[in-house]
Homo-oligomer: A and B are copies of this chain.
Amino acid sequence: MIKIAVDTAGGDFGPEKTVYGSCLALAENPDLSCLFYGFPEQIEQALPDFADQSRIEIIAVNEVITDEDPPFTAVRQKQNSSLMQALGAAAAGKADSFVSAGNSGAIYAGSLSLIGTLPGIKRPASVSILPTVSTSSPYYLLIDSGANTSSKPKHLTTYGHLGSKLAEKLFGKPQPKIGLLNIGSEPSKGTAFTKEVYELLDAEADLNFTGNAEPSGLLNGTHDVILTDGFTGNIMLKAVEGTADILLHDLLGTIKSKVKLDAAAKKAIEHSFKTSINRYTNADIGGGFILGIKAPVVITHGAADEVMFQHSVELAGRLADSNVFSC
């Protein structure tokens, strides 16, 4: 049984989505169980009829870290919050992984102080699992997708090794293809930072480094791992998600208002668009996680609905089974 510590109070909607979504994950995954950290009355109220109570434990807390709280202060001062208590469970091995839709800065800071980094890691990275249109290579890992805005070149080499192990495990691929996010394919392209990282990665004999990768073609499934600094990675992530979200909704609206369709065709087209929107805005994946610490910590969108939260819990379950969170 894999135990997931859930910060039920985090996110824009709290237990209504986090508890309900977790119960959806439990219903579909008999090997998962949840530790719900939060306010018992609110949690009880949010529990759906179908919830399997035998795989649920509720742990009462008496405070909440909000999105407005400054991360480092919150982590120091709100130790009895759902976020910190749930992180503590993952740190102590009482839970195998952690999920929250709460204050991402506080989750990151709390993970550093409670869970701690792997040997040789100074700055853990954020990882996002990005979708592609390829059936043989449907996802790739984007590292760092936002944790460190001033990554150093050698950090990316470390992320390359961890990412390679992770992609092998998650995607079942031997020798995952690793690319460096850049604005051109030649080694001389980009900034002083990318040029230095290129040389370092190129010298790592046990990494399948395939050179620079431009953002334009990544959705075709050309790579398994894309490395970049946290600033560029976050810009890339938000550009992909934002473009998919806004332009697909807009195009669906145009088609519905301008094309004569019978009821069945309309429904089927709406379904295709919704499938695509969920896939390319990462609602299907459930969020990102932290790489370089000793337990899996999944961070999902504050605005995640119950289904996206379900997927976050399922991701936390898959990561618990991985080999990149132990020394």
A contacts, CB < 8 Å to B: 133, 146, 149-150, 181, 183, 190-192, 194, 214-220, 231-232, 234-236, 238-248, 250-251, 254-255, 258-261, 264-265, 268-269, 272-273, 276, 280
Contact = CB atoms under 8 A, between A and B. Distances in A.
A318 B272 CA distance: 39
Say whether chain A's binding surface is mostly helix, strand, loop, or mixed: helix
A234 to B, nearest CB: 4
Contact of A242 (B194, B218, B248): B218
A215 B243 CA distance: 9
B259 A242 contact: no
Closest 7 CB pairs of A and B: A216-B242, A239-B239, A219-B246, A215-B239, A133-B250, A183-B234, A215-B238
A183 B235 contact: yes
A246 B250 CA distance: 17
Contacts of A191: 149-150, 231
A183 B133 contact: no
A76 to B, nearest CB: 19
Contacts of A192: 150
Contact of A273 (B220, B231, B251): B251
Contacts of A236: 235-236, 239
Nearest to A221: B246
Given A194-B231, A258-B268, 5 more contacts: A183-B231, A219-B246, A243-B280, A255-B272, A259-B272
Nearest to A254: B272
A265 to B, nearest CB: 6
Contact of A260 (B245, B247, B264): B264
A241 B216 contact: yes
Nearest to A264: B260
Contact of A258 (B181, B183, B247, B272): B272
Contact of A219 (B149, B181, B242): B242
A248 B246 contact: no
Contacts of A254: 272, 276
Contact of A240 (B194, B231, B239): B239
Contacts of A273: 251
A308 to B, nearest CB: 16
Contacts of A234: 183
Pick from A191, A231, A251, A258 the residue with the most CB of B within 10 Å: A251
Contacts of A149: 183, 190-191
A269 B259 contact: yes
